[in-house]
């Protein structure tokens, strides 16, 4: 099935009030708590950086045995409030073993941050293209099946009664926990829509990552769940070939 054509606009701006269910499922952190958890965002705790900003490892004083990943908005980022609230709203409603758990968020003045369960084994991309570790075919198969199950959960609306199109499926957005179980992450570009219709697509501004983007979506702006499936197919080719989706010059790999 494909999502129906949706003409309604979903307001994800900071002024949009959070639903009560979201407040119950997500903890609202202060910036002081996040600063304390990361030694004032010390670079030694930085574990990565994306379009939204840097990601830090952190531990809270009221839970010293657990490690969390804290993603802080970079003021110079081309992402911002819209992507932040989309992620908060999406992940507050989604509960699945192959979706990265959102623990909470911070929205304080100009500061925005997201707090996730820490994924001990990083990203699938790093294991395929950067790390010295070699994943076995059994591990890779388990990771691919887990990611596919996560996408199926999103697309069929199992937990939300609405389908979710991720719109940025790629190997760097597939995280691995301590058991190498796959968790789909980064929902800042995701789109929602009803699943009880049979027709076509969501019209939206084209966004995503070069090399993974569905050509039909790129040229027409018509987003369907097939766009996620295409991107996941690229991930499978990465796993099989060991080659990245695009080369260093920005042209697609053959």
Residues flagged as binding site for ATP? 71
Q: Are 206 and 218 in contact (CB under 8 A)?
A: yes
Closest CA to 209 of 72, 70, 79: 79
Q: State how far the Cα of 101 lies from the Cα of 126, in Å rounded to an integer.
A: 20
Secondary structure class of 237 (helix, strand, coil): helix
Residues annotated as part of the active site: 168
Strands (E) across the chain are located at 27-28, 46-49, 54-60, 63-72, 102-108, 111-117, 163-165, 174-176, 182-184, 191-193, 202-203, 222-223
- Sort 147 into a burial class: Cβ within 10 Å, 0-12 / 13-18 / 19+: buried
Q: Are 79 and 113 in contact (CB under 8 A)?
A: no
- For residue 112, the cross-strand partners are 107
CB burial readout 69-102, b (16+ within 10 A) else e: bbbbbbeebebbbebbbbbbbbbbbbebebbbbb
């Amino acid at each position: 099935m494909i999502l129906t054509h949706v003409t309604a606009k979903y307001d994800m701006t900071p002024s949009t009030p959070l639903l009560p269910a979201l407040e119950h499922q997500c903890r609202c952190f202060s910036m002081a708590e996040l600063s304390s958890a990361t030694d004032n965002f010390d670079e030694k705790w930085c574990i990565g950086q994306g379009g939204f900003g840097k990601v830090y490892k952190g531990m809270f004083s009221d839970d010293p045995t657990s490690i969390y990943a804290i993603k802080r908005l970079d003021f110079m980022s081309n992402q911002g409030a819209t992507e932040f609230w989309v992620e908060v709203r999406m992940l507050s409603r989604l509960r699945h073993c192959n979706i990265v758990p959102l623990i909470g968020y911070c929205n304080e003045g100009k500061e925005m941050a997201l707090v996730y369960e820490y994924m001990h084994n990083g990203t699938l991309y790093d294991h395929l293209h950067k790390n010295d570790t070699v994943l076995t075919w059994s591990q890779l198969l388990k990771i691919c099946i887990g990611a596919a199950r996560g996408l199926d959960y999103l697309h069929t609306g199992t937990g939300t009664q609405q389908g979710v199109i991720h719109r940025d499926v790629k190997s760097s957005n597939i995280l691995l926990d301590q058991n190498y179980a796959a968790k789909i992450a980064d929902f800042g570009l995701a789109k929602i829509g009803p699943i009880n219709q049979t027709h076509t697509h969501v019209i939206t501004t084209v966004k995503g990552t070069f090399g993974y983007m569905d050509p039909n979506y790129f040229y027409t702006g018509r987003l369907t769940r097939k766009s996620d499936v295409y991107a996941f197919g690229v991930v499978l080719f990465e796993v099989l070939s060991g080659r990245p989706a695009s080369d260093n010059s920005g042209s697609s790999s053959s």
